[in-house]
Amino acid sequence: MRELHQSWLVSYEAIGKLAGVCATTVKHIAEGTPSRRLPPPARITARTSDALLTVTVDDLPDNYLVNAVGSTRRLRALSVAGWPMQQVADQAGADWTGLKELRRGERTTVLLRTARLIRDVYLELIQRDPYEHCRPAVVTSSRNQAATNGWHPAAAWADAIDDPEAKPWQMVRCSYPTCIHGAKDERLLCDTHLQRLSKRGTLEGMRAVRNGKVLIEDIQFILATDPPINPETEEIDRDRLAERLGITWHALEQALIRAKINLGKLRESA
């Protein structure tokens, strides 16, 4: 519900109508009632919750105006990839001039019908090589225009392309092994590793400096994504885990003792 309202600019009235819930109730659940100094309720009925959770942006009619952020980012990402706007417009069956205005960020809202067309074309074209469908000069021109304007590629948004609060690369994990921080830019490195790269020209031999909390978070990430399991005991291979963290088992053991937690509990929580 909050995503519908904030990301897509869907009114509480529209959400309430689709869910069969009073608009005043929807607004109170989301924001509380400031005029009466009432915070959002800590609990709501299961019936109301189920009704609101079933509402998605796909339930809205084609002529509904929604936030244009996602459409703008998709069009810009296609330009970064090299797709000319005329090709995108032809593929979507949409007005070329209108799409260019969207790409420039001149519109804050867009018809949901248009947003859906852009989304579908984006999903199709972003997987293709524009050189196979367009003249090389046109592809190069599109990419140069995108670079001049500082537009971001599809990879910069991960799954948050429709979120107006998302920052480019924020949701993309740093590519340095065991680092769990967000990337800063297309180099796919976080601030710490970019500074090291700038200062020394290499990340070779770098050991991450972590406090206890960050180390525990790194352990949880490894255990949740690719835990090093000993095939004979089916338990966590502590030496391999320590190696992947870039520390000794003794240092890892001391960190776990200070945090008053063991690998078994961490594995369960991951």
Q: What is the pLDDT of residues 5-22, one digit of tens each?
A: 777 778 888 888 888 988
Asked if residue 260 is part of any domain, the answer here is yes
Indicate whether 70 and 141 sit together in one domain: yes
pLDDT of residue 39: 87
Residue 73 pLDDT level (bands cut at 50, 70, 90): very high
pLDDT of residue 265: 75
Which candidate, 18, 143, 156, places its Cα nearest to that of 80? 143
Indicate whether 152 and 216 sit together in one domain: no
Asked if residue 254 is part of any domain, the answer here is yes
**Distance from C-alpha of 63 to C-alpha of 93, rounded to nearest angstrom:** 16
Look at residue 254 and give its three-state secondary structure: helix
Residue 208 pLDDT level (bands cut at 50, 70, 90): low
What does the pLDDT look like over 211-250, one tens digit per residue?
Answer: 667 778 878 888 887 788 888 888 888 888 888 877 778 8
Asked if residue 172 is part of any domain, the answer here is no
Indicate whether 74 and 149 sit together in one domain: yes
Asked if residue 163 is part of any domain, the answer here is no
Indicate whether 53 and 85 sit together in one domain: no
Asked if residue 79 is part of any domain, the answer here is yes
Indicate whether 93 and 141 sit together in one domain: yes
Indicate whether 91 and 112 sit together in one domain: yes
Indicate whether 54 and 103 sit together in one domain: no
pLDDT of residue 140: 95
At 75, which amino acid appears?
A: L
Contacts of residue 128, Cβ cutoff 8 Å, sequence gap at least 6: none
Residue 40 pLDDT level (bands cut at 50, 70, 90): confident
pLDDT of residue 270: 59
Indicate whether 29 and 110 sit together in one domain: no
Number of domains comprising the chain: 3
72 vs 203, residue with greater confidence: 72
User: Vertex 234, ends 233 and 235: CA angle to 5°?
Assistant: 85
27: which 2 tokens? Answer: 């607004």
Asked if residue 258 is part of any domain, the answer here is yes
97: which 2 tokens? Answer: 């001039």
187 vs 246, residue with greater confidence: 187
The domain boundary, picked from 114, 129, 156, lies at 156
pLDDT of residue 84: 95
Please say if the pLDDT value at position 68 is more than 70.
Answer: yes
- The H-or-E segment that residue 24 falls in is helix 23-31
Q: What is the pTM of this model?
A: 0.65
For CA atoms 156, 221, 127, 159, give the dihedral sign: negative
pLDDT of residue 118: 96
Please, which contacts does 92-100 make with residues 24 or more away whose CB atoms are closer than 8 Å?
Answer: 92/117, 92/118, 92/120, 92/121, 93/117, 94/118, 99/75
Pairing of strands 109-111, 65-67: antiparallel
**Distance from C-alpha of 125 to C-alpha of 86, rounded to nearest angstrom:** 13
Asked if residue 165 is part of any domain, the answer here is no
Indicate whether 85 and 104 sit together in one domain: yes
The domain boundary, picked from 20, 36, 59, lies at 59
Q: 193-226 burial string, b = 16+ CB within 10 Å, else e?
A: bbebeeeeeeeeebebebeeeebbebbeebbeee
Share of the chain above pLDDT 90, in %: 32
What does the pLDDT look like over 84-105, one tens digit per residue?
Answer: 999 999 999 988 899 999 999 9
Indicate whether 80 and 147 sit together in one domain: yes
Indicate whether 141 and 98 sit together in one domain: yes
**Distance from C-alpha of 48 to C-alpha of 210, rounded to nearest angstrom:** 44
Asked if residue 205 is part of any domain, the answer here is no
Indicate whether 47 and 111 sit together in one domain: no
CB of 71 closer than 8 Å to CB of 79 = no
pLDDT of residue 268: 72
Q: Provide the residue range defining the domain that includes 47.
A: 2-59
